[in-house]
């Protein structure tokens, strides 16, 4: 797998997972949030964002963190070898964003665009709270467009994601010692 989409609700742990997977595999991470947001939490124009995503998707290797399926979703799906889906409970995601705010408030996280510090945003809380009802059905529909040669890996807990990373790290260590 050289082109991997990491998708799911905010607060699910997908950015942390993507960063860790990138560290283990050496595959560069691309944050869709960093491509979408401009300083001051200003959204990019649709054409500008799609051009950035298309440029990133055409690269030979990437781990792409984020959903944004209505914006350049087709090209990412076309190029992806695999999709890793964080299908976690609402409570896990809500605790995740509250923890993130508590630990990062006022600072720009590594996967975020410059000038976009962590903040308290009621609209964002509502987005995460309604994600399973509003967004999950759209993701399921998006996944129906995957080809048979594209893997879909679904995590329903962070423990599953941690075991997956441990397995990838173990495989990487075995391959490194064989060379």
Residue 178 lies in a domain: no
Residue 139 lies in a domain: yes
Residue 175 lies in a domain: no
In whole angstroms, give the CA distance from residue 163 to residue 100.
22
Residue 174 lies in a domain: no
Residue 48 lies in a domain: yes
Q: Which domain, by its residues, includes 161?
A: 3-169
DSSP H helical ranges for 1-135: 14-25, 32-36, 46-57, 73-79, 90-104, 122-129, 131-134
Domain count, the chain: 1
Residue 177 lies in a domain: no
Residue 179 lies in a domain: no
> What residues does 6 pair with on adjacent strands?
65, 84
Series of mean pLDDT values for 10-residue runs along the chain (179 residues): 96 96 96 95 94 95 93 91 97 95 92 91 95 95 96 97 94 76
Residue 66 lies in a domain: yes
What is residue 16's three-state secondary structure? Answer: helix
Encoding tokens for residue 11? Answer: 């607060």
Q: Looking only at Cα atoms, what is the longest distance across the chain? A: 52
CATH number, domain of 32, equals 3.40.50.300
């Amino acid at each position: 797998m050289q082109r991997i989409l990491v998708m799911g609700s905010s607060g699910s742990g997908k950015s942390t997972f993507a960063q860790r997977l990138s560290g283990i595999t050496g595959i560069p991470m691309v944050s869709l949030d960093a491509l979408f947001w401009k300083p001051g939490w200003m959204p990019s124009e649709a054409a500008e964002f799609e051009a950035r995503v298309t440029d990133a998707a055409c690269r030979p290797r990437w781990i792409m963190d984020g959903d944004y399926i209505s914006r350049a979703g087709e090209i990412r799906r076309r190029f992806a070898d695999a999709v890793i889906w964080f299908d976690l409970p609402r409570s896990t995601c809500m605790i995740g964003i509250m923890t993130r705010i508590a630990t990062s408030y006022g600072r720009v996280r590594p996967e975020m665009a410059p000038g976009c510090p962590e903040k308290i945003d009621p609209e964002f809380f509502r987005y995460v709270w309604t994600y399973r009802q509003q967004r999950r059905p759209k993701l399921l529909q998006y996944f129906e467009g995957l080809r048979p040669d594209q893997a879909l890996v679904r995590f329903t807990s962070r423990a599953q994601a941690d075991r997956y990373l441990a397995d990838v790290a173990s495989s990487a260590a075995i391959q490194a010692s064989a060379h």
